[in-house]
C-alpha cells in the first residue's frame, strides 16, 4: 500500500493546547512494498507517526493518503474496511491475560472475518496450521496452546508480531518490535518481519531504537527529532554525523557509532553496542 503525507501534523487529544504538534508538519511518500525504519530519540514522534498512519490519530493539519484514499474523508464503513488493511502493532501487544496464544494469533485474522465467524473463532480456533506456522516463524511453535500470561515479555512481543503474519493487511506499522528481545532474537524477528513483508508485497514502516539493525536491515531510514524529519535517506547514506545530529543531547540513547556502511570488509563485525534504551 502506498502512503503519502502532505504537511501532516498530529496532536494527541490529551496534549496541552499550546503544545507543539507531536509530529510535523511533515511531507512523506512511501511506495507500495517499501520498507522504512523510523529512528530518533525518545519523544521524537515515532509512535505518533505510526498512530497517524494507522488511522488511530486524526490529522490536526494537512493530509494523509493511504492507497490513494484520504481515510478521514471516507464514510465509516469504508474507513473500517481500510483499517482492515492496516496492521498496527503497538510496542506492548494488548493480549488478554488468560487467552491462549493460538487465539491471540488468530485474532490477526479478525478483520477479514464476519461478526459470527469472529465470535465462533474465539471458542473454536480455526486455521490452526496457519497459526502454528506464524508462531514457528518467530520460534514459538511450542507455545501454540500456552496461556498468554504464562509467557515472558519477549515471547509476548513475538506473539504480537506473529499476528502480523495472520493479518490480511497491506501495510504493517510496527512500533519498536524488538524492545523486549535479546540481540539474537531481535535480529531473527526483524529478518522474519522484513522477509515476510517482502514476500507478500506488504509495505513495512517500523520504529526502532536499535539503530544498527535499522541501518543493516532496512533499505530506507528516516530520522525524526522533536516531531520533525531530520533525514530520510537510503540506509547506506546515513553517516555517523547524521546520527550524531539526530541524537544530540540524547547520546545515552546512542552509545556508539555504527559500523560505516563502506568500511573495511576485513574487520570482524563489532558486537551489538548501540542499545538505545
Ligand X SMILES: Nc1ncnc2c1ncn2[C@@H]1O[C@H](COP(=O)(O)OP(=O)(O)OP(=O)(O)O)[C@@H](O)[C@H]1O
Instruction: Give the interface with ligand X as residue ranges (CB under 6 A).
Output: 12, 14-15, 22, 40, 42-48
CB 171 within 8 A of CB 86: yes
Cell of 160: 504480537
Cell of 264: 573495511
- Residue number, 45 or 93, with CB nearest to ligand X: 45
| Nearest residue to 40 via CA among 186, 172, 182, 210 | 210
Longest dimension (CA), the chain: 59
Q: What is the rounded distance in angstroms from the CA atom of residue 230 to the CA atom of residue 151?
A: 38
CB 82 within 8 A of CB 66: yes
Question: Which residues have CB under 8 Å from 269's CB, separation 6+?
Answer: 259
DSSP character string of 208-263:
-S-HHHHHHH-SEEEEEETTEEEEEEEGGG--HHHHHHHTTT-GGG--SPPPPTTS
Instruction: Give the shortest CB-241-to-ligand X separation in angstroms.
Output: 21
- Residue number, 10 or 106, with CB nearest to ligand X: 10
Cell of 66: 493511504
- Residue number, 15 or 257, with CB nearest to ligand X: 15
Q: What is the rounded distance in angstroms from the CA atom of residue 13 to the CA atom of residue 199?
A: 37
Instruction: Give the shortest CB-43-to-ligand X separation in angstroms.
Output: 4
Instruction: Give the shortest CB-175-to-ligand X separation in angstroms.
Output: 7
Q: What is the rounded distance in angstroms from the CA atom of residue 168 to the CA atom of residue 102?
A: 17
Pairing mode of beta strands 220-225, 228-234: antiparallel
Instruction: Give the shortest CB-264-to-ligand X separation in angstroms.
Output: 33
- Residue number, 46 or 217, with CB nearest to ligand X: 46
Instruction: Give the shortest CB-40-to-ligand X separation in angstroms.
Output: 6
Residue reference for cell 487467552: 99
- Residue number, 14 or 266, with CB nearest to ligand X: 14
Q: What is the rounded distance in angstroms from the CA atom of residue 93 to the CA atom of residue 81?
A: 22
Instruction: Give the shortest CB-184-to-ligand X separation in angstroms.
Output: 23
Instruction: Give the shortest CB-29-to-ligand X separation in angstroms.
Output: 20
- Residue number, 48 or 157, with CB nearest to ligand X: 48
Helix (H, G, I), strand (E, B) or coil at 174: strand
- Residue number, 40 or 111, with CB nearest to ligand X: 40
Instruction: Give the shortest CB-37-to-ligand X separation in angstroms.
Output: 13
- Residue number, 60 or 74, with CB nearest to ligand X: 60
Amino acid at each position: 500500500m502506498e502512503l503519502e503525507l502532505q504537511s501532516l501534523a498530529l496532536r494527541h487529544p490529551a496534549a496541552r493546547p499550546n503544545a507543539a504538534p507531536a509530529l510535523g508538519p511533515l511531507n512523506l511518500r512511501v511506495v507500495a512494498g517499501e520498507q522504512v525504519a523510523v529512528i530518533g530519540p525518545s519523544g521524537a514522534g515515532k509512535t505518533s507517526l505510526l498512530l497517524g498512519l494507522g488511522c488511530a490519530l486524526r490529522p490536526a493539519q494537512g493530509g494523509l493518503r493511504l492507497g490513494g484514499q484520504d481515510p478521514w474523508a471516507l464514510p465509516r464503513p469504508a474507513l473500517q474496511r481500510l483499517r482492515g488493511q492496516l496492521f498496527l502493532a503497538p510496542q506492548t501487544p494488548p493480549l488478554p491475560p488468560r487467552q491462549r496464544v493460538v487465539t491471540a494469533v488468530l485474532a490477526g485474522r479478525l478483520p477479514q472475518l464476519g461478526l459470527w465467524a469472529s465470535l465462533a473463532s474465539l471458542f473454536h480456533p480455526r486455521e490452526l496450521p496457519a497459526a502454528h506456522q506464524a508462531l514457528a516463524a518467530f520460534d514459538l511453535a511450542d507455545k501454540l496452546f500456552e496461556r498468554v500470561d504464562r509467557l515472558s515479555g519477549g515471547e509476548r512481543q513475538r506473539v504480537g508480531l506473529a499476528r502480523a503474519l495472520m493479518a490480511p493487511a497491506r501495510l504493517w506499522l510496527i512500533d519498536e518490535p524488538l524492545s523486549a528481545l535479546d540481540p539474537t532474537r531481535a535480529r531473527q524477528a526483524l529478518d522474519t518481519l522484513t522477509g515476510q513483508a517482502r514476500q507478500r508485497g506488504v509495505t513495512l514502516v517500523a520504529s526502532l531504537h536499535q539503530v544498527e539493525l535499522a541501518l543493516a536491515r532496512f533499505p530506507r531510514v528516516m530520522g525524526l527529532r522533536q516531531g520533525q524529519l531530520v533525514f530520510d535517506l537510503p540506509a547506506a547514506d546515513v553517516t555517523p554525523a547524521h546520527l550524531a545530529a539526530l541524537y544530540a543531547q540524547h547520546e545515552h540513547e546512542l552509545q556508539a557509532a555504527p559500523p560505516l556502511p563502506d568500511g573495511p570488509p576485513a574487520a570482524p563485525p563489532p558486537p551489538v553496542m548501540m542499545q538505545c534504551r
